[in-house]
Structure 1
Amino acid sequence: MRHLTLALDIMGGDNGPHIILSAAFKALNEFPQLHLIFCGDEGVISSWLKQHTSISLQRYSVVHCNQQVLMADNPASALRHKKDSSMACAIRHVQDGQADACVSAGNTGALLAMACSQLKTLAGVNRPALVSSLPTAKGRKVYLLDLGATVQCDAQTLLQNAVMGSVLAQEIAGIERPRVAILNVGEEQIKGPAAIKQANALLAANKQINYIGFVEGDDIFNDIADVIVTDGFSGNIALKSCEGLVKLLIEQIKRDAQRNLLSKIMAKLARPLLRRLYLRVNPDQYNGASLIGLRGIVVKSHGNASDEAFLYAIREAIQEANRQVPTKIKDKIENLLMERS
């Protein structure tokens, strides 16, 4: 790994700065070439650091911020009135070139507004998209976008999302020709709203994308596609439904395992199998949605993430910075525009 600097929004999230600082400590131990910029309340950060003196002073820097973006804040209001917040500060370090990427677990709407305002979108990109990966039946990942950055997407935006998702799958997952699909209510060409039908025609005619057509919701985990494109409304519902189902299954297994003596014995015998299953579907390892399409790398962690989950978001930011994902997306979008001109 080359030398990288990440800016962290220490004050974002539901569970307190100690969660993010704990994840940061683990990241510094895991990546020797990593430098971190802690954006937040200097008093809070310093208090935590005094208890973890094993971290070299050369590995991090602290930038004091007088403000914090709250989860209840209106995004437009936060953009106007919280320019000295830890979130704005972290993004500003990316804008100024002092950080290769930033990570925040804060208010998604405010993060989107501030990132768009400070970093701007790449030429040829109408709107940025939130993208994350999910597990599939064959052990690979599928990238799903948009997850809520743009609630309603027109055909052009869906096409751009397909290009950006394809680049991400190539660079991060190492898939040479990612299979790209559109999420729809059926596989038939006649189904779906006008924007989806138009995007289907655009992608079918595009030679840069390995487009395979429509997929339905129950195909997300079947390893049919490497990238699934949808609008932010449907994508966010699909993601939250999947996360809720996983949590339900995990809790149900825990309850059933303690129901009686026989259940406890069977659970103990099945523990290695259950552990392997848990490690594959544990939502923590899929934490870290990338806000792609910007002139910089911004990774959004779940607000209620544990330190282990936030560490995955940091890893995602490191991967994208190492692979220079925004530059690769820029080149692919430019080629797409030239092809259509």
Structure 2
Amino acid sequence: MNKATILMSLHLLLLSGAASAADPSWRGVWSGTIGKQQVMVCLDHDDSSSYYYRRHSYDISLEASDKKGPRWAEMTKGKRTGEWKFESITRDRLTGNWFASKGKRSTPIVLERVSAPANEGQLCDDEAYNGPRIDAVKINAGSPENFEGKRFRTLSAGVDTTISTVELLESGPGVAGVNQALRAELRERIGNYYECLGSDNTRAEEVAEYSVTESPVFWSSRWLALAVVADDYCGGLRINHHYWYSTWDLSSGKNVDLWTWFEGMKYEASAALNKIIVAHAKFDEECAEMLTENVTYSLHPSREGMVFSPQLYVGCQDDIVVPYDKLLPFLSPVGKREVKALMSPRR
């Protein structure tokens, strides 16, 4: 073995030792049981840990009572509901007991490592922790529906709220890609739902809420536009309401950012374009005044023109349709090509 190889080996050993010293052996994602109940556990630094029972999948917070890891306080809405005490801690196995917050009742804990921490990110956001409960959710397919002669059905997550998307039942080169992407979005939103419900930011008398729905608003041989409506309350002062559009290219199966069709704009209209948009709005005086100060819109194509949805409060979110020919001076070369195709009678 030459000198360079020896030095490299020593360097790797030092790095490994430093990582081991920095990362306690209990940090990671674990699977196992509390008594006879199956659980998934995420043990991270300080108070960013949690676990869930596989039978109901809702997060329960864990806070470190001991920096070395043997003791953890189980917390629900700021109140201690139990305590964990580990008797044996190794890199791949944790054993100990769960104790009720009051009384002497205890239950054995046995955990096996699922995933070691790969970085300093939040472990409780990791796929290894969240994947089992997301994959356990049944996806229910609705009956076929019709939108302007084209068939689709609604896919709904089997949870205690409304989280849904659509599945296209037509043929085409990009349809499979669109359906795959929409299912991936649905899966991600199920994860967001559990994260919201597991939040400890809500007060004792409050219940977290989360819902997302999608439905078609425009469907041509080339393009599909979906309206997305989302509501969530994960703690804080108010319920959040979001409304936007997503546009899909049915030839490629890809999601398309329509702002890339506009020259030099990204998510916001230029002053000149905004003047054109405002001129086509049919709002009352209060909303019209707010609209002149707004430059952020969600877009989707339609048969009459480009639809601009202002990102204002709910009462002023009416769509604004601008004829395609009015937009031509603001478009990039790609945008002009695509918009002229939309203006064609054969679109």
TM-score by structure 1 length? 0.22
TM-score by structure 2 length? 0.22
Structure with bigger helix share is 1
Structure with bigger strand share is 2
More contact order relative to length (CA 8 Å, sep ≥ 6)? 1
